Chains A and B, each alone.
Chain A
């Protein structure tokens, strides 16, 4: 018998679950056994929809006796008398489907490639090494007692279990949402981001301020960098577990991070106002060789100190 087109039944992720050949137009869909394609969905009428092909290749829908009608690309169309193309997804009851002609252009063949490094065991080991080295570096800086190597061991021991737990959590979500865990990819991602964190936040930022005699890096740039890095980490994790478009994830993460930063900033300010003991000044000391700018004179320093007095006057006014 001649085959005219295919009707594809889709699962909740939009993947094809079943494919039915169309042998004649009009095509009748419904729960009744005299339908051309029988759909076992209690929210579909016995005779729900009839589809015919128009002359220009699109499809004309004709609603039959249905209370729920048809949704086209998530838009409800009660009467179901519409013209759709082969890219439109129809939803009858809880069943999603689309119609594809025989000459539908499919994507080109993908060449078989080696597994991406970030999804291989080698990548995972690389991630561990990077993370442990960065952590070791930041701990090593604090090493100033003959026996403090003991202090190096225990924080590092917890790194890998924590990392595996974190990646495992995302892999589980991935399994549930999209069917693929991507455990290794999650591990590599998290370990690299945390490693950069150790180096940038724990070491580099402070030394930059020290070298240039500023507080800008630690107070401003570091906060921005941290926010961007956390945002990016979540963007990638979510990208791995969900099939939502990158744009959608990007926007969601941006909005979320902005909200979180606002909340953290508020709490921080609140804490700072409440903390009578805290002396807030740039505390990082590096080797003298790192200093890149000329220090201020006692005169200039005391001039700035003299200005602090006005801040108390403001506080009294409040």
Chain B
């Protein structure tokens, strides 16, 4: 029964992906990557939640709360919530720059604004490098899900099949099919979280209050963000919230989502709705804390949510949760791989070979997507990664692009040399084997170095006339377009 439902969910997702081909007009880069900027409020909502709530929501987040408590719970909720606040102001600006530059990737924005091919390549390389942990995280989450729920599927087969399905979404109609599959995925994801949370409330003698009161009695330190002067947990939590809320819309796939909107106003409206989907977080925290007091000593903390499901829900619900969870991992794999494919073919290959046509770029995007997914399969089968901390690594690098984009919006005098040097300096610092001072998030120190280098080098160099002109064009456009 569970296995049948699991398979049914995945088959349904493939049908949806293939049906989405109908909307496809011409296979060019803009259509594959950003649906030619055609998404209205409905699809924009689903693509926004579809991209960001990954298998980490079901596995990594409750797992981290189970093992480390509120330092992690508060961090996840607050950084995502505040990212929407940032997005209300930021996303329309990104979209407008995207309109002017006809961008389909984040690297296109930099390439146009700073009139530099080298800048395109640099941004693309940094993005691809730091997207690798993100896709690994999806495969690892999938592995945990399937191993724990034990639906009787061979693990190796499951990993290969999921990568194939991710490729089918991309090959069918790029971002368009992924957006439609999101509707199914996000419905199942929120149902799964609400089901497990509700099961925990029902199983606890005094409901929600009973769960949290017993945590408060047995292990009160798990309920607040620790402000211990030595471990400095609060410094890390707060600096990470501050850092990641800026990086949220810099992730190459969320930025693609922004570019797929048909208007700036649509993006602002979307920001109003985004926090509402977060109603699943109370249920998620309830389930994680329930597991903490009622199912202690799990072999891996990442099993927390699944353990509650297995103990308190019937087989058919578990099958649906497994299907929804697998779909979540596969869809985010697809979004990530598509971003990598686009960045590689348009911002690296097409720069080296300027005579590449649209059809060729689309083909290369698909080839790179396939190679990237295949590499993910091999890594997962031979080097199973850990869930915790992986997302932080991705954010540490991807958020660095915020600095350059911020200057692109507001500072006429910033130069490609400055922004490039800043980005490089930030990324190099991330690879140095030093710990950040005061228990701060390492990415935020890298960002400070990035800002410093960007400003200093920009002051020492001159932007060319074309770059300055493009700043003026953007400034004008910003005020006229809604």
A binds B: no
Residues of B within 8 A of A (CB): none
Residues of A within 8 A of B (CB): none
